[in-house]
Amino acid sequence: MKQKQKYTSLEKAWILYDVGNSAFVLLVSTIIPIYFNYLSESAGLSSVTYLAYWGYAASVATLAVAFIGPVFGAVADTKNYKKKIFLVTVLVGVIGCIAMGIAATWLGFLVIFVIAKIGYSASLVFYDSMLHDVTTPEKLDEVSSQGYAWGYIGSCIPFIISLGIVLGAEPLGLSMQTAMGISFAVVAVWWIVSSFPLLKNYRQIHYVENTPGLVGKSFRRLWETLKGMKDDRKILLYLLAYFFYIDGVYTIIEMATAYGTALGLDTTGLLLALLVTQIVAFPSAIAFGKFTEKYPSENLITICILAYTAIAVYALFLNSQLQFWILAVCVGLFQGGIQALSRSHFAKLIPPQKSGEYFGIMDICGKGASFIGTALVGFVSQVTGSTNQGVAVLAVVFVVGLVLFRVSVRIKK
């Protein structure tokens, strides 16, 4: 039996960045919405209005990245540029994370949040595109899954510290704003420190040569790629499918705590339930990576989409703490699998030397697509007056994504 190859130091450094940035993701899906709720209630906003404004802010951030991602990605494909632009986006996210603790009004907080979210989301365009440079084609699925898996479990450490500070603010003699500011700083430090190994060791292997007129030529390459995609139906249909199904995934991640809070569920219970999501997602993501040794990744992605469709329908009937806990566990079982395998599945379809611009385009169909999901949840919630119906409407986008994905799978490359 062939001995399994261990992970290289570069693969480990790449995985470690997921540990760092995932702390911000967990903050966004748990503590940050609660603090925004605190600020909005102080200003007299209703729970439905609070959920809508939170959804609109998340949509603005993701829409911005949808526009800048492909352009920056095309520039980053140029020799020796990927790491530089990656560093800038990380710093924008980290500094924004710290700055959120300074905001004292709900509007100021939302503005800073949008900037920090743009930095975080843009960094992932370059991080994802590094996958071809840090590992071999045979290990794409497994390394991608390891990144998400360790990101889930690793992010729990700063989250537990932050949660302890927030919940223990009164005994410690801290105001809510001070406790939140410390929590944001803890996450920011965790994020930047986890970035150091990748920034130190990464070398861009697949690239386009640096020639005069860099920006102009990057735009032309991007335009040629976009024009050429109409003839590559497999990639085009996959991106359309991804646009829909990952839209629902990211919307659920971003609005989970806001949704539970709007339903009037206990805040501490919500946070602990989402912590369980991270813990469950750790072995689940690793398992999906191992499953690719026996089953095609497209079949595993199909299972994940079906599971998320059922989760969205289940949200229609959710009205208790126990039901929210069940929802959190179910999300944890499939969240890592669908994200990790979608990333590696796409990496197999694209030319490595154009990974930056292709992942930038993918980001339009991914985090950029959640502009629709978050806005849709906010809109339906306001129109119907029901947050349950707002979240349940996501089942439609999952079904559309599933149909398109299966069509793309049947197309021969």
pLDDT for position 116: 94
214 token code pair = 């860099």
Distances (CA, A) of 283 to 142, 153, 275, 276, 289: 13, 9, 14, 12, 10
CB distance 326 to 378 below 8 Å? no
pLDDT for position 248: 84
84 token code pair = 């530089």
Half-sphere exposure for 42 (CA within 13 Å, toward CB): 12
119 token code pair = 């930095």
Work out whether the CA dihedral 239, 140, 122, 353 comes out positive or negative. Answer: negative
pLDDT for position 1: 35
Low-confidence ranges of the chain (pLDDT < 70): 1-5, 47, 207, 209-223, 225-231, 254-265, 267, 367-371, 386-388, 390, 413
Q: What is the pLDDT of residues 249-264, one digit of tens each?
A: 877 776 666 666 666 6
Cβ-proximal residues to 238 (8 Å cutoff; 6+ apart), any chain: 345, 346, 349, 405, 408
Considering only CA atoms, give the Rg of the chain: 20
Cβ-proximal residues to 294 (8 Å cutoff; 6+ apart), any chain: none
Q: Comparing C-alpha atoms, which of 346, 372, 333, 363 is closest to residue 251?
A: 372
Half-sphere exposure for 257 (CA within 13 Å, toward CB): 25
pLDDT for position 211: 60
pLDDT for position 2: 41
Q: Comparing C-alpha atoms, which of 110, 370, 126, 155 is closest to residue 281?
A: 155
pLDDT for position 95: 96
Distances (CA, A) of 79 to 83, 204, 226, 237, 354: 10, 7, 21, 30, 11
* pTM of the complete model: 0.79
Half-sphere exposure for 254 (CA within 13 Å, toward CB): 31
pLDDT for position 208: 72
- SS3 label, residue 270: helix
Backbone angles phi, psi at 80, to 5 degrees: 70, 15
